[in-house]
Amino acid sequence: MNQLQRIILYLLVLIAGAAWIALSADTGAATNEATSAPQAGFTAPDFTLETLSGETYTLSSLQGNVVLVNFWATWCPPCREEMPAIQKLYEEYKDQGFIVLAVNSTIQDNPAEIPAFIEEYSLAFPILLDKSGEATRAYQIRSLPSSFFINRLGIITEVVIGGPMSEALLRTRIEEALK
């Protein structure tokens, strides 16, 4: 191989290496999404969802209240198990500014079963339908139930993945957030 062929080979290898680096470079988009899961100490991602009756709730409009955002589905046994405690404590603390937004992961559930679920547990707090998965994606929900306690400033104070949450745990987190 003569010197000119060697230079051309090195240039081709250099160009191929530069192309490989450029094409395989991480732009950061996937990394940012993966590392930005809502967590304690950070502002809760905002969402706007509707109830079965078409009433609209926007999380950011509830600032000044303590909010429990609970992601659930009718088929989820731990969700069913924790609902009576959530309802009981909602009734107990709602006059102190405690709000429950029960976000049904509608993209993973049968919406026809929601009314019976609400009636079975006598739920009085808003049941929101995440039909498009907007809130599920914003909160990066991978497991049901998943709960986010949000203080009066809109900051997440506690994240509970899985369940069921006990009444004692709920009471402690609610009282801490109400302070």
pLDDT tens digits, one per residue of 144-159: 999 999 999 999 999 9
Q: What is the pLDDT of residues 104-140, one digit of tens each?
A: 998 889 999 999 999 999 999 999 999 999 999 999 9
What distance in Å separates the CA atoms of residue 81 and residue 67, rounded to the nearest whole number? 20
Q: pTM score, two decimals?
A: 0.79
Phi/psi for 57 (5° steps) reads: -125, 135
Q: Considering only the C-alpha atoms of the chain, give the largest distance between any 2 of them, rounded to a whole number of Å.
A: 87
Q: What is the pLDDT of residues 43-87, one digit of tens each?
A: 999 999 999 999 999 999 999 999 999 999 999 999 999 999 999
Q: Is the pLDDT of residue 26 over 60?
A: no
pLDDT in the model for residue 25: 61
Closest among 7, 133, 147 to 68, alpha carbons compared: 147
Record the tokens describing residue 51, joined without a space.
């109830």
Phi/psi for 154 (5° steps) reads: 85, 15
pLDDT in the model for residue 41: 85
Mean pLDDT score, 19-33: 57
pLDDT in the model for residue 78: 96
